[in-house]
Amino acid sequence: MDFDDTNLATKLKDKNLFRQKCFINGEWMDSESGKTFEIYNPSDSTLIGLMPNCSKKETIFAIESANNAWEKWKKLSGKDRSIIIRNWHELIIKNIDDLALIMTLENGKPINDSRGEIMYASWFTDWFSEEAKRAYGKTIPSTTADRRIITIKQPVGVCGIITPWNFPSAMITRKVAPALAAGCTVVIKPAGTTPFSATALVELAHRAGVPKGVINLISVSEKDVSQVGDELCTNRHVRKISFTGSTNVGRSLMAKSASTIKKVSMELGGHAPLIVFDDADIDEAVKGSMANKYRNSGQVCVSANRIFVHEKIHDEFAEKLAKKSAELKVSDGRKEGAQIGPLITMAAVEKVQDHVSDAKSKGAKIITGGELDNEGRQFYKPTVMTEVTNDMKIFYEETFGPVAPLIKFSDDEEVIQMANDTSYGLAGYFFSKDIGRIWRVAEALEYGMIGVNAGVISTEVAPFGGIKESGVGREGAAEGLDEYLEIKYICFDGISN
Ligand code: SIN
């Protein structure tokens, strides 16, 4: 194979951050079979590394290691765990250049966006290093004079952490930092296309002083993923599964986890509506839509997939959005000024092409983009389409690409009905200046998160998550810690005589 194992490593300031192994019980190791799978740069299809193709056997070893380590880890004080998570946080910030480069190479994200994601990832280590000290219980007034009642919160146990390729670092810290803070131990299974951001973060966690067995990482190719996924979901020592990814995979993981009644957190598909009302500030709405739609080339579960624009301002909004979209620089994420990177795989490109050609065949008009970019076979031009209707695939299915479909509407009731006409319920956005309308629409939209005059709303201090088929549970914020805790009620009798 024409591949030099040290290629990526030599580009890093700290070459030990490029780890092509899984991590179990405090040690970097290969799969027992010696089998590996390949990871390619989506910008130019060059091979960037190999990872062990783990099986059920390594998964069981990782779960057992996590289970053994849990005994000690859960007994540390919140403050002691907090110190270790804070060390991890500081190492992430210190190594931002290397972490961002690894991400750009395996995910394709423009280097500035990768740096932005490393900062985003570090917000969770920052937040949960503090929250580790705040797993508060309650005292509850008893109904009888001779009893006292309290609740305490205790760690759930071993958690299976299954993370996506679109935010390969932030989704690790958004799940692992609260798990560690709560006193849980973890087995991480990163996406097969982007494992190196995860191994670099695990290396830093190890250096930060996370004890052996507390964090484990197993890798497996997308093709063989079920042998690892099935074990994580059915092994009785795993008490929780936290997953970010598609609704279909989430549904299957939930079904498998039902066999051992695990706690689950599922952050699934989005299909977000973005509504621009006639009283909106159009320039602000264009700016918010750009930030929302083209983040990570549209490969974001909270990205707008249907942009509803009031008929009075539709043409002006469409023209301004198309102009700005056409100005975006589509390029290999390593190049200066890159704004739109490649789509993750050819399958992702084919899905975008299918949605666009289906919409075109049913009458949609492409006002910019609508085709591959010359930069390479996985680069798709930022696209704005008008005259999108509800018989098109794009109206009901997540596109996960840089395509902005515009739909005209004339009244509030109609647009709320259209926005809610989906089985998804992750995020919704709208632009308006009317305070009455703002409250009415925010309350009426059936989504777990609402952006009002804001295109990007992700933050560590607010609970991230969806309703309906977009998932269960919340990540980040105080709620994010609770997802890794069980409540125990303790009743004391015989207090008064
Ligand atoms: C996601 O798309 O999975 C996460 C996006 C975010 O955290 O903002």
pLDDT of residue 497: 67
pLDDT of residue 2: 39
Residue 243, number of CB atoms within 10 A of its CB: 29
**CA 164 to ligand 1: nearest atom:** 3
267 tagged catalytic: yes
Residues in CB range of 492: below 8 A, 6 or more apart: 147, 148, 149, 150
Ligand 1 centre from 311 Cα, in Å?
31
Q: Using CA atoms, how far apart are residues 199 and 51, in angstroms rounded to an integer?
A: 10
491 tagged catalytic: no
What token pair was written down for 380? 């798709």
For atom 8 of ligand 1, which residue has the closest CA? 458
DSSP secondary structure, 394-406, as one string: HHHS---SSEEEE
- Of 448, 413, 426, give the one whose Cα is nearest residue 306: 426
Which of 58, 106, 267, 483 is catalytic? The answer is 267
Strand-pair partners of 310: 409
State the amino acid at position 378 in one-letter form. Answer: Q
- Of 451, 445, 446, give the one whose Cα is nearest residue 431: 451
Ligand 1 pocket test, pick from 109, 127, 167 with the greatest ligand atom count within 8 Å of Cβ, gives 167
Please answer whether residues 271 and 240 qualify as being in contact, where contact means their C-beta atoms are separated by less than 8 angstroms.
no
Strand-pair partners of 187: 160, 216
Ligand 1 centre from 464 Cα, in Å?
9
- The H-assigned helical ranges of 305-430 are 314-327, 346-361, 393-396, 412-420
pLDDT of residue 29: 98
Burial of 193 (0-12, 13-18, 19+ CB in 10 A): buried
Ligand 1 pocket test, pick from 247, 271, 464 with the greatest ligand atom count within 8 Å of Cβ, gives 464
Average pLDDT of each block of 10 consecutive residues along the chain (497 residues)? 57 96 98 97 96 98 98 98 98 98 97 98 98 97 96 98 98 98 98 98 98 98 96 98 98 98 97 97 98 97 97 98 98 95 97 98 98 97 97 94 98 97 97 98 98 98 98 98 98 90
Ligand 1 in reach of 264 Cβ (< 6 A): no
Burial call 200-219: b when 16+ CB within 10 Å, e when fewer? bbbbbbbebebeebbbbbbb
Ligand 1 in reach of 163 Cβ (< 6 A): no
Distance between alpha carbon 70 and the CA centroid of its chain, in Å?
26
Q: Using CA atoms, how far apart are residues 79 and 243, in angstroms rounded to an integer?
A: 27
Ligand 1 in reach of 392 Cβ (< 6 A): no
Q: Using CA atoms, how far apart are residues 149 and 479, in angstroms rounded to an integer?
A: 23
Please answer whether residues 183 and 73 qualify as being in contact, where contact means their C-beta atoms are separated by less than 8 angstroms.
yes
Q: Using CA atoms, how far apart are residues 274 and 272, in angstroms rounded to an integer?
A: 7
Q: Using CA atoms, how far apart are residues 412 and 440, in angstroms rounded to an integer?
A: 10
For atom 7 of ligand 1, which residue has the closest CA? 458
